[in-house]
């Protein structure tokens, strides 16, 4: 069974960049096969990884839910969905990428979501590591992917608004009955330790903080991938140190 690292957090916290940097760190450690899943319709995990992803799962499910006649005669619906999802995986050097796409449209998705959950569980079992970049509402994790994570990393800034958002995500995980082995709070772009009482309120284990890195900011502004960040960049070095807590149990 693959080791699932799920990232969540409100927009603007740098969550997608950190998801991409975790993929890079695992790749450079030669930790095993890696599947990166972009499960946030508003994020651009592929772009940050320097990958142009092919079709996304949302578009495939739209097509099937709204036009069942697209399935070739004699082919089981489940087999067709499986083939289309496999085709949507972009294979790169050292990792694969799958984009989940937008939430579902007006068609009936009960069946396709059930099939997809089964497919995703099998897919996750095929990789050593799965890094999932989620939206704050965890919509895809709750409806379309397996409801489990070995490590949930909630990314926040140091503001009270950011920390309240982290707390809401932590509460949502419990309410949705996700099977999460470790839940962490990671503070991004902050050079001091956060107040302990603020961390306690989130219900998450404090992983640590990551510094603001001008080099990463420059790459983001110019649309360059995380693989262009220097290996000794402060952000990457700090993440690698903290990262051992995320994946060391594997």
Mean of pLDDT values over 5-27: 94
pTM of the predicted model as reported, rounded to 2 decimal places: 0.92
* Tokens coding 144: 């379309």
* Tokens coding 37: 């899943």
What is the rounded distance in angstroms from the CA atom of residue 209 to the CA atom of residue 11?
Answer: 18
pLDDT in tens, 172-188: 888 888 899 999 999 99
pLDDT in tens, 31-60: 899 999 998 888 789 999 999 877 888 888
Between 57 and 197, residue with greater pLDDT: 57
- Portion of the chain with pLDDT greater than 70, in percent: 92
Which domains are seen in the chain, by residue range? 3-247 (3.40.50.300)
* 234 three-state secondary structure: helix
Residue with tokens 């096969």: 33
């Amino acid at each position: 069974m693959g080791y699932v690292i799920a990232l969540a957090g409100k927009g603007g916290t740098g969550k997608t960049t950190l998801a991409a940097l975790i993929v890079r760190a695992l790749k450079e450690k030669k930790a095993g096969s890696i599947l990166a899943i972009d499960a946030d319709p508003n994020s651009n995990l592929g772009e940050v990884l320097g990958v142009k992803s092919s079709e996304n799962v949302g578009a495939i499910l739209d097509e099937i839910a709204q036009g069942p006649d697209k399935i070739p005669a004699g082919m089981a619906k489940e087999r067709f969905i499986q083939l289309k999802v496999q085709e949507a995986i972009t294979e790169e050097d050292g990792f694969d990428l799958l984009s989940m796409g937008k939430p579902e449209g007006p068609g009936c998705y009960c069946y396709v979501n059930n099939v997809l959950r089964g497919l995703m569980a099998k897919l996750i079992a095929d990789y050593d590591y799965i890094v999932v970049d989620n939206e704050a509402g965890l919509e895809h994790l709750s409806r379309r992917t397996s409801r489990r994570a070995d490590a949930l990393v909630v990314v926040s800034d140091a503001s009270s608004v950011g920390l309240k958002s982290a707390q809401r995500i932590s509460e949502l995980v419990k309410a949705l009955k996700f099977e999460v082995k470790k839940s962490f709070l990671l503070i991004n772009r902050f050079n001091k330790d956060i107040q302990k009482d603020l961390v306690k309120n989130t219900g998450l284990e404090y992983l640590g903080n990551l510094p603001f890195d001008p080099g990463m900011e420059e790459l983001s502004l110019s649309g360059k991938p995380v693989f262009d960040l220097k290996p000794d960049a402060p952000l990457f070095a700090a993440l690698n140190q903290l990262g051992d807590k995320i994946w060391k149990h594997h």
